[in-house]
Structure 1
Amino acid sequence: MPEGQGAPALRRQAAGDPVRQMMRAHGELLAGAVDEWEIAAGLEARGVTDGDARRLRQPDVFGLAAELLARAPRTVARLDGGPNRTERALLPRRTGLRHALPGAAAAVFPALRSPVLGAGLAVFVAVTAWAALRKGPLAVPRGGGAPWAYALLAYALYGPQAVTALSGRGPFDPAAQVPSFAALTLGLVPAACWAHWLAVRSRAQLAPSHSLADYADAVRPRLAVALAGHAAALAALLALLTPGGPLAGPAALGLLLFAARLLSGHGEPLPALAALRGAALAETCTLAVAPLGLPLPGTAPEALACGAAFLFLLPPTFRALSRPAPHHP
């Protein structure tokens, strides 16, 4: 064959290679990847499915990622021993202390009889809670639902007593809900522990998974365990700090905030924002209709609003967090 005739054939063969076309389309992803699991998460985040991989003559997204890594330039290095093998499943001590600070401060609130000291401590709790949620496993992207979350916490602290006073069924006692509020803020610690555990286990699951469906089947039970574990921790804290008191309202709020933090912290802020906003507005409407004398128990609006918002968040939470892309380091 003459020398010049082979070049067009080779070019046609390269142009018809779908994997090579994927390499050109996702060159930036391949250039920064260190293993096939990072490539698989990046492809899935860009909308590549197992069906797309099969059309490229690969078994699934993970197989396509392995093929892309094998063809990538040798500057892309594979990590020995799998991804995140050395990552600790336990929450770092400094992060745990930062999340424990707001709850510890709120727990001493009932001992302060001075209104000035009480108001100062309330400000301190708000500031330390904001600082705790800026970084770490419960961090939320900017522009998220932080104002709505604070509105829900403010209702948890003063709302039930306000409903009782506005409906004429009793006086307004600003310290009545402090123990349950302290339990909620102390719940930041188990929430951070469960969120960190879920993130570590979900990233570790990338290595043994063979498809997106395989990965989702392994991660969904772990997400359910994290939600159930946090619910159990909240129930224990509420039972300890508010013996005989209502559990449904504060527990529903704690689960709602936990699910919203998980969802927005893993790149899905819109459903979390909608759920927090809806619950806060529903509680505001409760305060508006309380003077009409409706028979509303103080904690019932919180339980109904936050419980409904949490149920609204469950499907998108399981759908989003059972994909590998949200757990990309």
Structure 2
Amino acid sequence: MTKGQRIDAPRAPGSPGGWDARSEELVADAALVREPAAWRGAGGGAGTDARPARRGGVDPVKALMHRHRELCERAVDPLEIAAGLEAHGVTDRTAARFRHRDVFALAEEMYARVPRDEEEHATSLPAPARLGPEVPAGWALFALLPGVACALTAVGIELSEGRARYAVGLGGALAVALALRVALRRGPLRSAHHVVPATRAWTCFLLAYALFGDGLTRAAVSGGPDSPWAPSIAAALGLSLAVAPALWCVRLFAVGARRRLALSRGLADFTASVRPLLLGAVALYLCALGALLVGAAAVHGVPVSAGAAALGALLLLARLLTSYGFTRAPLLMLGAAGAVEAVSLASVFAGRLPGCAWLAAPVEGAVRAGGPGVVPLVACGAAACVLLLHCLRVLSRASAHGDGAP
């Protein structure tokens, strides 16, 4: 049955929207709605291609339509129904029990069979789907605030000395945190889902390590620290400036995904078109982040921090997943990266205990070979790779980009 074909069910008296009374009784039939295997014949060992057994004229597709009645009535395209079914766990194997080749074919029949009044449909037709999720006005400018605040703080630190430098640094850190909060809440990476405190705690630890960890690790491997070590202003400046391209790239991905959702003619088609878009957006962000880190390192006359680049990728992917409602994987990967950095630093100090030099040997060897940035590079880089694979799996689903998407 094609998209254009519609079979209008006869309206029963008093039934809203043309849903007949006989079909209303199907909703309570748990064997039909929740156990598709019951539709197969009792004998002969029929597989998924066997014709479903019908009881008393019961229509299993109409029963499924009643279970997802609201989804069917508000859908303006079969792909919206397919995305909703996918979100509720309906797979191609389940669709085969309805005698359809895949979920999209089943959604096409459900869309065609939804009873609609032509006049009502003409007057209540929804507006065309927007190309991307709505974001508050001025978000592109708010995205620049963290970088501007960090740049002003860096200038203030260079121009001050003594206790004034510490005061400027502390005030600048608070200003950057406030600007980052505004940029995230008013931009494409805003999240309507609850973020557990542990996620924020690990994020703060990773940022603190990016600022102070390399200097402390270098001093610890050299036998210190004997004096206060300088924070990595270049890494902080590069990461703060990269907030703007991060938000712009995420917006580009969101708009492109919604456009492909409107144009795709099946779930497999949508998945195949969205994955390259996601990889392109991440690659574009990494190029911008790398350029900013190189520029910040050149201004301050220090080596480029590869660990900061890995951290930037990790934070972007973690926040991207969180904004779409996937909060467990970011928590696990942020915690894993933070734990690796903490254990690596602790092992250097633990190696000073009598007979425990072997504890510090792996970290000291890696730091002498590749510098102190090798620790966050390995920890954050591995976690970012895991999150990227997870993003390719969950963000390529049509259900992730429905009306509830950010």
Tell me whether the two structures share a fold, i.e. TM-score over 0.5: yes
Unmatched segments (≥5 aa) in structure 2: 1-20, 27-53, 353-359
**RMSD of equivalent CA atoms:** 2.7
Cα 1:304–1:20, aligned 2, differ >3 Å: closer, same or farther?
same
Q: Give the paired residue count.
A: 317
User: Cα offset for 1:163?
Assistant: 1.6
Moved more, 210-219 or 134-143: 134-143
The corresponding residue for 1:26 is: 68
Q: Larger Rg: 1 or 2?
A: 2
Matches within 5 A, 1:81-100: 83-85=129-131, 87=132, 94-100=138-144
User: Cα offset for 1:84?
Assistant: 2.2
User: Cα offset for 1:67?
Assistant: 2.7
User: Cα offset for 1:195?
Assistant: 0.9
- Distance in 2 (CA, whole Å) between partners of 1:198 and 1:255 is 15
- Distance in 1 (CA, whole Å) between partners of 2:308 and 2:178 is 21
- Distance in 2 (CA, whole Å) between partners of 1:156 and 1:256 is 13
User: Cα offset for 1:154?
Assistant: 1.2
- Distance in 2 (CA, whole Å) between partners of 1:14 and 1:162 is 76
User: Cα offset for 1:109?
Assistant: 2.2
Judge conservation of contact 2:150–2:172 (CA < 8 Å) in 1: yes
2:215 matched to 1:161?
A: yes
Judge conservation of contact 2:142–2:186 (CA < 8 Å) in 1: no
- Distance in 1 (CA, whole Å) between partners of 2:379 and 2:58 is 56
The corresponding residue for 2:94 is: 52
TM-score (norm 2): 0.71
- Distance in 2 (CA, whole Å) between partners of 1:201 and 1:14 is 47
Residue-by-residue CA offset, 1:68-101 (whole Å, 9 max, x unaligned): 23333436755465x324x499x87611222211
The corresponding residue for 1:142 is: 194
Judge conservation of contact 2:189–2:250 (CA < 8 Å) in 1: yes
Judge conservation of contact 2:82–2:267 (CA < 8 Å) in 1: no
User: Cα offset for 1:64?
Assistant: 2.7
The corresponding residue for 2:286 is: 231
User: Cα offset for 1:275?
Assistant: 0.4
TM-score (norm 1): 0.86
Q: Which amino acid aligns with 1:101?
A: L
Q: Which amino acid aligns with 2:200?
A: A
Moved more, 28-37 or 72-81: 72-81
Q: Which amino acid aligns with 1:191?
A: A
Q: Which amino acid aligns with 2:306?
A: A
- Distance in 2 (CA, whole Å) between partners of 1:320 and 1:179 is 34
User: Cα offset for 1:46?
Assistant: 0.7
- Distance in 2 (CA, whole Å) between partners of 1:44 and 1:16 is 24
Judge conservation of contact 1:60–1:210 (CA < 8 Å) in 2: no
2:140 matched to 1:101?
A: no
User: Cα offset for 1:53?
Assistant: 2.7
Judge conservation of contact 2:79–2:266 (CA < 8 Å) in 1: no
Moved more, 236-245 or 193-202: 236-245
Q: Among residues 193, 196, 212, which one is paired with 2:251 in the alignment?
A: 196
Q: Which amino acid aligns with 1:41?
A: A
Cα 1:207–1:50, aligned 2, differ >3 Å: closer, same or farther?
farther
2:114 matched to 1:72?
A: yes
- Fraction of identical pairs, as percent: 38
Question: RCO (CA 8 Å, sep 6+): is it higher in 1 or 2?
Answer: 1
- Distance in 1 (CA, whole Å) between partners of 2:57 and 2:297 is 69
- Distance in 1 (CA, whole Å) between partners of 2:270 and 2:171 is 48
Runs of 4+ in 1 over 4 A off after TM superposition: 11-15, 75-81
Unmatched segments (≥5 aa) in structure 1: 1-6
Q: Among residues 138, 162, 174, which one is paired with 2:230 in the alignment?
A: 174
Judge conservation of contact 1:34–1:79 (CA < 8 Å) in 2: yes
- Distance in 1 (CA, whole Å) between partners of 2:140 and 2:65 is 42
Cα 1:214–1:35, aligned 2, differ >3 Å: closer, same or farther?
closer
User: Cα offset for 1:301?
Assistant: 1.1
- Distance in 1 (CA, whole Å) between partners of 2:208 and 2:127 is 49
Judge conservation of contact 1:63–1:210 (CA < 8 Å) in 2: no
2:174 matched to 1:123?
A: yes
The corresponding residue for 1:3 is: none
